[in-house]
Amino acid sequence: MKKNHQWNLSYFAITFLVLALAQLFFVERHSVQSIPYSQFLQLVGEHKVSELRVDKDQISGKLQEPIDGHDLFTTVRVDPTLAAELAPSGVGFSGVSENTLLNGLLGWLLPFVMIMVLWQFLFRSMAEKQGIGGLMNIGKSRAKVSVERDTGVTFADVAGIDEAKAELVEIVSFLKDKAKYTRLGAHIPKGTLLVGPPGTGKTLVAKAIAGEAGVPFFSISGSAFVEMFVGIGAARVRDLFEQARQAAPCIIFIDELDALGKMRGVGAFGGNDEKEQTLNQLLAELDGFDPREGVVLLAATNRPEILDPALLRAGRFDRQLVIDRPDRKGRQAILTVHLKKISVAHDIDCERIAEITTGFTGADLANLINEAAIVATRRGGQTVNLDDFTAAVERIVAGVERKSSLLRPDERLVVAYHEMGHALAAGTLPGMDPVHKVSIIPRSIGSLGYTLQRPTEDHFLISCQMLKDRIAVLMAGRAAEFIVYGQISTGAADDLTRATDIARQLITRFGMSAELGQSVLERQNPTYLGEHMAGFGQKDYSEQTAREIDLGIRALLEEAYNRAKALLDSRRADLDAGARLLLEKETLTPEEFPPLMPLKSAPDGSP
């Protein structure tokens, strides 16, 4: 077993100090004669003493006639008055001094030892966490290595991404049977980049590949390479690939690659930036290692738009697999995997749960199942049923109920009309997701009520009319308030924000405005972490065009508001009845109030 001996300059200093003190002790002990104070007084009276040195507690000097071969002496002082009284008696007496050598050692050595202890246990541990620890380990990789039994994940634990799994099966086959691919000169791609929103299972897929292949799995985050000193990250990249070559066949997985592979030349730093040096070393390693050695590089990111182009070219990360949010079929498969971990009712329907979880990622679904189990435990149930999953979805989407927040009766009635306006418009307009539940119970996110719609299927294409209908549903809450009270309130603030965003995208991104034509005025950035903040994007159109955009947005909102008022005027009886029932029960479903059911032949919204 190879041992790494680490030497510290402080260890040499301690050894040198101990040897020096020991030498001083022994030399002084063997060359100086200690005599009683009474003998000293006698020698002084006989004029046999010279070169006296008088300290506070000790007297030393030189003898004219050596005693026992020593011509130097030392004695401990005694109080002069007491010495004068004892001298005539002829009794020998001497003073007793404290152990000055021990005091000296403690006075000099103890503070030094305390400093060393503080260095060892405090500063050194903190320095290692900050990347400036022991000089011998400063470039070592922090990759945590696990083998098949440690990952505990196979492709059976990964669901909802069948297309990506089919691509990754080749990597497993290469690691298991390398000769099958190399016999014709082919080699596995050097690098595979997994791209997708957070929570879609990129890290889980990498672990599943290692579990299926039964090879060592080197896992490290991109941020672990970047440290305080320039060059440390590059040294760690070299060390990681060297470890991987020795353990081949194996898998290297770099999570959050964007922390390491950010595009060069962007920002205020030049070529000496630590991140650039680390990225350059990674590029060199990708060019230098032979994929036939059995080292497979996987990486994951949810910010592909900021990666350096040199990192994505062929020969480095040859494949880029998009792991997106699962569709309904994928969500059903993911739920089937996770439901095995909890006790569910025998009549549970995964398809119905998948219908009400549109847009959920794999991590969201795992969290949903855990929340549903908590809800079932809280009510004292023996199994988890569909109502528990519905309550968990509401908790995740809308927040926690705040029943302690009491509204005045007149405010509760306004909220009831507002939410019923949303619900009736959603149930009336064609192509809208059916209403699942309406509630006027305040939620933790700040809403005083909510209308939960349950999509029956995933939409990949949305028509211009569907977008206008969505705006009308959002404006229906304010329209209901105006119809009943003749005035509006601040309750529609969030609705107006969402409606304005849809109207702006309809005009600037989708080219659906008759006045501005089919030109794209605001480009969509390929991001998975949300859009850029409004007002900071670059606008490459004139002020006149900007005014036309503002007028177009205003016209779309006014049109949707008028449609919503006309629609609710035609269903005024349902609006009043639904608001009174909602005020009584606080929560309504279409089964409890049939007018919320989708109409088979919906009107066009005209009065």
Q: Which residues are catalytic?
A: 419
* Contacts of 278 by beta carbon, 8 Å cutoff, 6+ apart: 225, 226, 233, 234, 236, 237, 260
How far is CA 420 from each of CA 413, 492, 557, rounded to the nearest angstrom?
10, 13, 20
The DSSP bridge pattern shows strands 191-195 and 319-322 to be: parallel
Q: Where are the beta strands (DSSP E) in 169-288?
A: 191-195, 217-221, 250-255
Q: Where are the beta strands (DSSP E) in 266-335?
A: 295-301, 319-322
- DSSP code of residue 513: B
How far is CA 494 from each of CA 97, 347, 408, 438, rounded to the nearest angstrom?
87, 38, 21, 17
- DSSP code of residue 88: G
CA distance 366 to 235: 38
CA distance 238 to 234: 6
Radius of gyration of the chain (CA): 41
Phi, psi angles (nearest 5°) of residue 588: -130, 150
CA distance 92 to 555: 119
How far is CA 467 from each of CA 168, 224, 462, 506, 598, rounded to the nearest angstrom?
38, 45, 7, 8, 18
Which residue carries 């590949």 as its tokens? 209
Q: Which two tokens stand for residue 392?
A: 């968990």
CA distance 423 to 578: 10
CA distance 293 to 281: 19
Alpha helix segments (H runs only) across 32-177: 37-45, 80-86, 100-118, 124-129, 148-151, 162-176
Q: Which two tokens stand for residue 489?
A: 């309130």
Closest CA to 57 of 21, 88, 94, 26: 94
Please give the single-letter amino acid code of residue 462. Answer: I
Q: Answer yes or no: are the C-beta atoms of 538 and 525 closer than 8 Å.
A: no
